[in-house]
């Protein structure tokens, strides 16, 4: 199975750290959505989409890229790094999963981990979740990707 990871990581490179670990496991290239043509994704069986979370949403560059995609028939997964968990009524993964499903993807799973967050109110105290993603977060990302690889046979 051929996999690729589309990742926007602009704040501290937090999500890129997660993407790189997942990319190693899945033997997948990690690309910025600004550096890949939407039509190119048709050649992949599994596509990961990830970014930091900004005011409750995935980064606009990633969302706009997904919105621009033609109808797909492959499998996707969604991942994020964020100050706060993907939980409760305000689950940030849900709109992205819905958008991908509208594009025809089957969304296999979602992953998120805590990460250094310098959103304005927290900047005053030097940010929160310092040092994250840490080794345990990267190990969790690896385990997540290994699970996908086993379930979907996602290696070339």
Q: Which stretch binds ligand FMN (CB under 6 A): 78-86, 98-106, 135-143, 148-156?
A: 78-86
Other CB atoms within 10 Å distance of the CB of residue 129: 20
For residues 112 and 85, is the Cβ–Cβ distance under 8 A?
Answer: yes
Residue 30 binds to ligand FMN (criterion: CB under 6 A) = no
> Judged by CB under 6 A, which of 32, 38, 42, 84 binds ligand FMN?
84
Residue 97 binds to ligand FMN (criterion: CB under 6 A) = no
Residue 56 binds to ligand FMN (criterion: CB under 6 A) = yes
Distance of alpha carbon 81 from alpha carbon 14, whole angstroms: 6
> Judged by CB under 6 A, which of 34, 55, 126, 131 binds ligand FMN?
55
Query: H-type helices in the chain, by residue range?
Result: 14-26, 60-68, 93-102, 120-123, 135-152
> Judged by CB under 6 A, which of 4, 15, 105, 152 binds ligand FMN?
15
Size of the site for ligand FMN (CB under 6 A): 22
């Amino acid at each position: 199975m051929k996999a690729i990871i589309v990742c926007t990581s602009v704040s501290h490179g937090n999500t890129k750290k997660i993407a790189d670990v997942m990319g190693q496991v899945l033997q997948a290239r990690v690309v910025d959505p600004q550096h890949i043509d939407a039509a190119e994704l048709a050649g992949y069986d599994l596509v990961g989409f990830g970014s930091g979370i900004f005011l409750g949403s995935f980064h606009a560059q990633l969302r706009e890229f997904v919105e621009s995609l033609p109808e797909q028939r492959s499998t996707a997964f969604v991942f994020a790094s964020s100050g706060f968990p993907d939980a409760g009524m305000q689950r940030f993964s849900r709109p992205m999963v819905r958008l991908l499903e509208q594009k025809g993807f089957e969304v296999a799973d979602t992953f998120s981990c805590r990460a250094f967050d310098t959103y304005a109110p927290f900047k005053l105290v030097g940010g929160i979740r310092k040092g994250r993603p840490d080794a345990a977060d990267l190990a969790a990302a690896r385990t997540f990707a290994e699970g996908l690889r086993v379930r979907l046979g996602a290696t070339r």
